[in-house]
Amino acid sequence: MTIGILGSDDRAVAIGRLLRQAGHQLTFSDPPAGVDKAEKAAQALGYGTQADSAYNQASTCQTLVLAMRWDDREVALAALGPVDNQIIVDATRPPALAGHSGAEWLARRLGSRHVVKAFVKPIRPNEPIEICSDDVQAKLAVAALIDSAGYKALDGGSLAYARDLERSVAEKAPVNTPDP
């Protein structure tokens, strides 16, 4: 499977390393930070991992992992362009939003039911990776990705329950984010 990771910080690279070790092909982009950061992230993993544009990732990757800072989401989403049937793994760490989860906001913003919240907490050996989604098939696909990397997925329920997961690692104080 080809997976596009949007983000290039240490956490994005750690997610990429986990997926790469499971044999998946990866590309990195980082619209807010630029191609140099994406190339550096790709080089950190080697093994044919490449930097790419977010737009190209949206047209060539079956799964997209949003692993950038919450504040950079609009720039990243604009660079993606249209997304169709890709699974969108929301690994962002939003602030504690009023009334909904960041994953719910993202699903509405993209007009996609294929959003899965995952990889929010640090990846630790022998600990499950919690996932939330309203799309059973997308949730099963992400669980299979996690299983392929030697970890267990823990079903955290629907995207509404992603709020609790997000609050456990929130970036900053609660804010209101307008609906898309």
Predicted confidence (pLDDT) per residue in 24-61, tens digit: 999 999 999 889 999 999 999 988 899 999 999 999 99
Domain boundaries, the chain: 2-167
CB 91 within 8 A of CB 67: yes
What's the average model confidence in pLDDT over 54-77? 94
Q: Residue 176: which pLDDT band, with cuts at 50, 70 and 90?
A: very low
The reply to whether CATH 3.40.50.720 applies to domain 2-167 is: yes
C-alpha distances in angstroms, 145 versus 14, 53, 60, 154? 15, 23, 18, 13
| Single pTM value for the model | 0.91
Mean pLDDT of all residues belonging to the chain: 90
Predicted confidence (pLDDT) per residue in 84-108, tens digit: 889 999 999 888 777 889 999 999 9
